[in-house]
Amino acid sequence: MNGEEIPIALILVLGASALYFGFEVDRRRKKLHAIFDTFDKEESRIATALEAMVESGQLRPFSLIAQS
């Protein structure tokens, strides 16, 4: 009886660990995506605002030479 319970408990622990590991990797991958990723629709909305700022003259290209 005990001999059968130990492997089952071991399998359960290992299974739970694998599940936790999988979830944790996925969670951290999502965080990395939040830091560095390709554009989605929201950045397209920002782009329109940025274009308008440049066209109105409020925003100009930065020049390192002009700053020094």
Partner 1 sequence: MDDQAQAHEPAESPPPFDLDLRSKECDRVLDPDAQRFNFFLIDTGWNEPISKLVQKHFPKHLHHHSPKDQLFILTPEQSVEVLRQAPYEIGHDPVILVYDLYSRDVGKARNYKGFRLALGMIRHPEQAMARLQEFFRFLVMNRQSEHLDREIRRSLHREGFEGMIKILHESTPEIA
Residue closer to partner 1 (CB basis): 16 or 30? 30
Residue closer to partner 1 (CB basis): 10 or 54? 54
Q: Is 25 in the site for partner 1 (CB under 8 A)?
A: yes
Annotate 4-31 with DSSP letters as a single string.
HHHHHHHHHHHHHHHHHHHHHHHHHHHH
Task: Report, in Å, the least distance between residue 11 CB and partner 1.
Answer: 21
> Is the Cβ–Cβ distance between 27 and 21 less than 8 Å?
no
Cβ neighbours of 59 (radius 10 Å): 13
Q: Which residues bind partner 1 (CB under 8 A)?
A: 21, 24-25, 28-29, 31-39, 42-51, 53-62, 64, 67
